[in-house]
């Protein structure tokens, strides 16, 4: 017997609206999710510059406890000061919740691409160490030092996450990206760890590529990449490069995953210059929310959103200015919801 609407599962999810356009794009994503009929009980909490006055912290303990309790969160962009100020909230969140895998699917399904061949890759970026561990020192006047931290534990678990994902989805190829020809100890340890994991997945082809060659190959022949696993710094750079091939950060989703907790977010900035103008592009946040639906097992709803987005981009009538259109955020969302309702 099928369940009635009243018996449908209600998902309890933490919402972190963020700074700048964050509240606008997360509100847009909530409207789109509601249009699918998936039932969500949102617990709204603060982080970022807006949390300081209320809590005295950019990342209050109440926010962390909400995510730990609910296990799943949708997060808007948060402003990070450049060259000073508080440490990145994103980095603090990843460390506090041990969100060790940054997962970013990059594909050309929406039709914005500079390539003739289809692009369909997933990037697994280690999220907790490397140069982003933040171990920096001024060792003498005019001399600064940053420490690159690579451990077998972190390298092994990001490799396992990539291979597990590839195997479950019948992906056939994993590339490990490195600079072990120069950094023989640190990147050498990363490679050695990935090789040991790869040996346990004989059905998945394993290749290695030096990071600078990877950047060139990804621009020239991106179709050769399937699943890509990298350290923190290389992953940050290469994932943005890949996003540029399919239309930019405005159309690429992201997730930060740990063993028990998952935080889904777009990876673009908070764009304070357009905050409140009603023209923010919500697509990356909507796609991140779609990833979240799949994580929750709501695959049919996720498929409807994805199909509706493909139709929306094919028409090109209701896109925001950054996507080459003239629509407002609300106009894009309304047009998308109309298509979702048709795709039942």
Structural domains of the chain sorted by starting position, each given as residue range(s) with its CATH number in brackets: 1-103+247-344 (3.40.718.10), 114-245 (3.40.718.10)
Catalytic residue among 75, 95, 160, 179: 179
43 has which bridge partners? Answer: 14
CB 324 within 8 A of CB 316: yes
CA distance 320 to 329: 7
Q: Which of 130, 187, 236, 281 is catalytic?
A: 236
Q: What is the pLDDT of residue 82?
A: 45
More confident residue, 148 or 48: 148
Q: Is 212 a catalytic residue?
A: yes
pLDDT tens, position by position, 209-222: 999 999 999 999 99
Q: What is the pLDDT of residues 26-46, one digit of tens each?
A: 999 999 999 999 999 999 999
Give catalytic status of residue 203 as yes or no.
no
pLDDT of residue 1: 43
Phi, psi of 276 (to 5 degrees): 85, -5
Any catalytic annotation for residue 179? yes
pLDDT > 50? residue 83: no
Of these residues, 100, 132, 206, 234, which one is catalytic?
A: 132
Distance, CA of 331 to chain centre: 25
| Residue-wise pLDDT tens digits, 168-226 | 999 999 999 999 999 999 999 999 999 999 999 999 999 999 999 999 999 999 999 99
CA 295/CA 332 separation, integer angstroms:
25
What ranges in the chain are assigned the alpha helix state H?
22-35, 49-55, 61-70, 89-97, 152-168, 186-198, 211-220, 232-244, 283-295, 299-315, 329-342
Considering 212, 259, 300, 341, which one is annotated as catalytic?
Answer: 212
Report whether pLDDT(58) > 90. no
Phi, psi of 9 (to 5 degrees): -65, 140
Q: Which three-class secondary structure state does DSSP give residue 24? A: helix
Number of H helices, E strands in the chain: 11, 12
Please give the Cα distance from 130 to 180 (Å, whole number): 14
User: Is residue 250 within 8 Å of residue 285, measured between CB atoms?
Assistant: no
Residue 8 annotated to the active site? no
């Amino acid at each position: 017997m099928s369940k009635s609407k009243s018996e449908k599962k209600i998902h309890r999810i933490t919402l972190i609206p963020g700074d700048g356009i964050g509240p606008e794009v997360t509100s847009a994503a909530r409207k789109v999710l509601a249009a699918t009929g998936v039932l969500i009980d949102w617990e709204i909490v603060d982080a970022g510059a807006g949390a300081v006055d209320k809590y005295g912290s950019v990342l209050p303990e109440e926010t962390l406890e909400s995510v730990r309790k609910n296990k799943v969160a949708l997060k808007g962009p948060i402003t990070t000061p450049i060259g000073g100020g508080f440490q990145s909230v994103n980095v603090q969140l990843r460390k506090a919740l041990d969100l060790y895998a940054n997962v970013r699917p990059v594909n050309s399904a929406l039709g914005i691409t500079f390539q003739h061949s289809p692009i369909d890759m997933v990037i697994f970026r280690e999220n907790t160490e490397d140069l982003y561990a933040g171990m920096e020192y001024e060792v003498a006047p005019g001399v600064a030092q940053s420490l690159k931290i690579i451990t077998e534990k972190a390298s092994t678990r990001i490799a396992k996450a990539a291979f597990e994902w590839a195997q479950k989805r019948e992906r056939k190829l994993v590339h490990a990206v490195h600079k072990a020809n120069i950094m023989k100890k640190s990147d050498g340890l990363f490679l050695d760890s990935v090789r040991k994991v790869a040996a346990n997945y004989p059905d998945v082809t394993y290749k290695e590529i030096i990071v600078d060659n990877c950047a060139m190959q990804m621009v020239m022949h991106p179709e050769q990449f399937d699943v890509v696993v990298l350290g923190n710094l290389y992953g940050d750079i290469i994932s943005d490069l890949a996003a540029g091939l399919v239309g930019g950060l405005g159309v690429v989703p992201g997730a930060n995953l740990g063993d028990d907790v998952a935080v889904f977010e777009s990876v673009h900035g908070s764009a304070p210059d357009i905050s409140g103008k009603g023209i923010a592009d919500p697509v990356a946040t909507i796609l991140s929310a779609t990833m979240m639906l799949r994580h929750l097992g709501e695959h049919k709803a996720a498929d409807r959103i994805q199909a509706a987005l493909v139709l929306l981009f094919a028409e090109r009538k209701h896109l925001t200015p950054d996507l080459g259109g003239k629509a407002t955020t609300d106009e894009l969302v309304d047009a998308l919801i109309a298509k979702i309702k048709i795709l039942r």
